[in-house]
Structure 1
Amino acid sequence: MSNSSSKLIILDRDGVINEDRDDYVKSVDEWVPLPGSLEAIALLNQAGYQIAIATNQSGLARGYFTINDLDAMHSKMEQLLKPLGGHIDSIFYCPHVDAHACDCRKPAPGLMKEIALRYQRANSTQPLLGVPIVGDSLRDLQAGIALGAAPHLVLTGKGQKTLAKGDLPEGTQIHADLLAFATTLLKNQA
């Protein structure tokens, strides 16, 4: 199913696809898509892209929600995508907090390594070379560029604060939101 010629895009979740919350997105009711984000995913799917999500979900370790709650949020996302002709190919998440010092919590590249393996791109030092990684925080982008991904910052979620702080990876492209990213990417391919 997956091969190295497949077109892949890696998305962060909170603040990119759905509204972010300072008190964590803890339930299916609190999982609210950002305007245009689901349409963007559907457009990318229809253009032949596979969508992988890489998301830090430390609320699991903190006891704010359960794995069943997380699954319900992702089911809701899939159900809302279906009538638009969109879907998520895979979801990778880190359940840990910074103190666990794991390799999967972004900005560590563990989730990206898992994605590279899943999409059979693990045969080089930069297995995600050129694969767009879209996030609203510096740690999202850092996790991807470690393996060669192309950084894209959206100004939704924490994106405005991230941009204001500066120090973005070289070559980071800035987009108003996920739909702006998708339309720019598809226009540049045309």
Structure 2
Amino acid sequence: MPKHVETVFLDRDGVLNEKMPEGRYVTSWEEFKPLPGVAQAIGSLNRMGIRVIVVSNQRGVALGRMTNAGVEAIHARFQDLLRASGAHIDAFYFCPHDKEGCDCRKPKPGLFLQAIRDFPEIQTETSIFIGDSLSDIEAGRNFGMATVLILGNAEGRRPEWEEARKLADASFASLPEAVELLVP
């Protein structure tokens, strides 16, 4: 783990909000259920001067279950909720594509490259990627960042979670626990 953290990249579903069952997608604000303590954890990162960026695969767009504008509307409402708690996300990036045909679907680097284009001061050696899946951990590792796996509840874990746990630099039950122990 970096001694000095400047940027924390976060996956969305399963890290910030409840993950839908496999094959289902958060398609509206009403389905977006923030996890306990997430706003406070993000606020802690903000107060420490750490940049917070969300990078998320949103395959439901490619499948026609939601639109880019719908995803952006969910992010805007979440940002409003965070602001009411004295917190904020610096930027949201998402991949709206299906499993093939783009460079932005994690574990590919496109979302990180977009973030670096917008925030050229980002350095991988002072960044951490926090996610809840093997593709998240692979994405962070592929991009040279320290990685943290959020374990969440046992029922929601994907079959490859044990492999992800072995690859990750650290694992925690939740984002608030990770923030508390990683960046005190």
What is the TM-score with the length of structure 1 in the denominator?
0.85
Matched, 1:172 2:169: yes
User: Does 171-180 or 109-118 show the bigger shift?
Assistant: 109-118
**2:32 and 2:164 mapped to 1: Cα distance?**
30
Report % sequence identity.
Answer: 35
Distance 2:103 2:165 in 1: 22
CA RMSD of aligned residues (A): 2.2
Name the counterpart of 1:9: 8
1:18-74 deviation per Cα after TM superposition (whole angstroms, max 9, x unaligned): 111021101110011011111111111111111111000111111101122212211
User: How many pairs does the alignment contain?
Assistant: 178
Q: Quick check: 2:137–2:167 contact (8 Å CA) kept in 1?
A: no
Structure 1 residue 186 and structure 2 residue 176: aligned? no
2: CA distance between counterparts of 1:167 and 1:27? 29
Residues 86 and 34 from structure 1, CA distance in 2 versus in 1: closer, same or farther, beyond 3 angstroms?
Answer: same
- Which residue is 2:105 aligned to? 105
**SS at the partner of 1:76?**
helix
Alignment partner, residue 40 of structure 1: 41
Partner of 1:20: 19
1:13-162 equivalences under 5 Å are 13-22=12-21, 23-98=24-99, 100-121=100-121, 127-156=123-152, 160-161=157-158
Measured after TM superposition, the shift of residue 160 of structure 1 is 4.2
CA contact (8 A) 1:152 1:174 kept: yes
Structure 1 142/102 Cα, relative in aligned 2: closer, same or farther at 3 Å?
Answer: same
Supply the distance in 2 between the matched residues of 1:45 and 1:162 (Cα, whole angstroms). Answer: 33
- Where structure 2 has 5 or more consecutive residues not aligned to the other structure, the ranges are none
Maintained 8 Å contact 1:136/1:162: no
Distance 2:12 2:158 in 1: 17
2-structure distance, mates of 1:157, 1:71: 27
Per the TM alignment, residue 166 of structure 1 is displaced from its structure 2 partner at its CA by: 2.2
**Residues 56 and 45 from structure 1, CA distance in 2 versus in 1: closer, same or farther, beyond 3 angstroms?**
same
- Unaligned segments of structure 1, at least 5 residues: none
